[in-house]
Amino acid sequence: MVSPYLFRSTTLIEPTNKCNLGCEFCEANCTVNAHLKRRDITPEQLEIMLAKLSELIINIVFQGDCEPTLNPYLPELTRIAARFTSSVALVTNGTRLKEMYVRRLVEAGMSWFAISIDDYRPEVFNQVRRGADLEKIQSSLRALIRLRDRERPDLHVVVHKIVFPGDTLEELRTFVRTYYLDYGVNQITFAPLVQMGDIKVRDWLKLRNRLESAMIDEGVYVNLGEFCPYPYRTLHRYCGTNLLFISHEGNLSPCGLHVRQGRSFGSLLEHDLEELAQGERFRELHAYWQDKRYSRPIPAQCHDCFLLKGHYHRYSLNEGHQAGLQFLDHPDLAPAAADGEEPCRHLESA
Ligand SMILES: C[S@@+](CC[C@H](N)C(=O)[O-])C[C@H]1O[C@@H](n2cnc3c(N)ncnc32)[C@H](O)[C@@H]1O
Ligand code: SF4
Ligand code: SF4
């Protein structure tokens, strides 16, 4: 590798731009939200792209915007992915996880399933996840956990929840009790609601830490430390969510954010990796984060990123207090107020 900015990471693949739900909070650019031409990554295209990244792949996750299970080739894509890594994951709305289909995916090499379930109450869940039926998804979740327990102990099952502004500590406790204790998932992950580029739950980091403490008081040691529902691996963690992201069009980016605005390093189908790594946007992003130029202008790729408007990246960077302070006064960023600056209504109601 010639570029100093190529290093091993999780590789996130967005297999399609199709979705079968119309969740009221979702701003993904899917065919349900806009008149887009339907597009799926094909097995041939995946082969070409993964071969170019092969030395850098740690693990592979099928996610991105939209719903991966709507790509009709997903079992075949999984089989190809499994040739590049022993860890292949799926993030899904769970509506298509019928037992036979899950078995096909598992046989192809899928070992990590993360299902986005935002509530334990059907009347709340079904209202926001328009088109979904919580009871059916829960029944698929039970079947998946049965498969793990009886035949495949290597399977890892995650439930991911969006933290909404109205969620209270007590509701989150019930959520954890439901899925961690009753269902027996391996892991629960939380991330705050983001709308129009803003984090809508300002105190979510404090709330999450408070929830962990409350559960420990009950004798339940749940680790909510991860922001993403997938196994996140990289040599340099940068802002906290950087990785190798391939969009359904075959474009390479450092994360799944901002691809909605068309920002990417270029097409991995048309160019070699080294060519993309020589691009100005690629070099600027990696120099900023890797060389710790935190007080310099924010890279073009990251301009306006919601993640930098809160404090999660400081928490995640784990670079020391002084480095974190440079973001507080950064001229390119609006005053950071999310992730814990304001009084916590949720915590008061505890
Ligand atoms: C865009 S979805 C794509 C995968 C799949 N369709 C699903 O719903 O799991 C990826 C993740 O983003 C989450 N998500 C969607 N809209 C969000 C929002 N406005 N704020 C925070 N998370 C959001 C979903 O819950 C899901 O876990
Ligand atoms: S299922 Fe996923 S991609 Fe589809 S609308 Fe809901 S959150 Fe968005
Ligand atoms: S700061 Fe935002 S845009 Fe930049 S790499 Fe991180 S998540 Fe992506």
| Residue 338 pLDDT > 80 | no
Q: Please name the residues in contact with 256: beta carbons below 8 A apart, sequence gap of 6 or more.
A: 12, 14, 63, 64, 65, 241, 245
243-260 average pLDDT score: 91
| Residue 31 pLDDT > 80 | no
| Residue 73 pLDDT > 50 | yes
Query: How many residues in total does the chain contain?
Result: 350
The protein residue whose alpha carbon is closest to atom 8 in ligand 1 is 93
**Alpha-carbon span 4 to 262, nearest angstrom:** 25
Q: Best mutation site among 66, 90, 95 for ligand 2, i.e. most ligand atoms within 8 A of its Cβ?
A: 66
Q: Which residues of 202-216 are buried (b: 16+ CB within 10 A; e: fewer)?
A: bbbbbbbebbbebbe
| Residue 34 pLDDT > 50 | yes
Question: 299, 284 in Cβ contact below 8 A?
Answer: yes
pTM: predicted TM-score of the whole model, two decimal places: 0.94
**Alpha-carbon span 275 to 211, nearest angstrom:** 46
**Alpha-carbon span 345 to 322, nearest angstrom:** 29
**Alpha-carbon span 230 to 62, nearest angstrom:** 9
**Alpha-carbon span 50 to 269, nearest angstrom:** 10
| Residue 323 pLDDT > 80 | yes
Of ligand 2's listed atoms, the one at least distance from the Cα of 132 is 1
CA of 14 to the centre of ligand 2 (A): 13
CA of 117 to the centre of ligand 2 (A): 11
Please work out whether the CB of residue 21 comes within 6 Å of at least one atom of ligand 2: yes
State phi, psi for 189 to the nearest 5 degrees. Answer: -125, 150
Please work out whether the CB of residue 314 comes within 6 Å of at least one atom of ligand 3: no
Amino acid at 178: T
- Ligand nearest, relative to CA of residue 259: 3
- Ligand nearest, relative to CA of residue 192: 1
CA of 144 to the centre of ligand 2 (A): 21
Please work out whether the CB of residue 81 comes within 6 Å of at least one atom of ligand 2: no
Q: Could you tell me the pLDDT band of residue 344, with boundaries at 50, 70 and 90? A: very low
State phi, psi for 320 to the nearest 5 degrees. Answer: 105, 155
Please work out whether the CB of residue 67 comes within 6 Å of at least one atom of ligand 2: yes
- Ligand nearest, relative to CA of residue 164: 1
Q: Could you tell me the pLDDT band of residue 333, with boundaries at 50, 70 and 90? A: confident
CA of 66 to the centre of ligand 2 (A): 6
Please work out whether the CB of residue 244 comes within 6 Å of at least one atom of ligand 3: no
Residue of 70, 2, 39, 19 lying closest to 250 (CA atoms)? 39
| Residue 78 pLDDT > 50 | yes
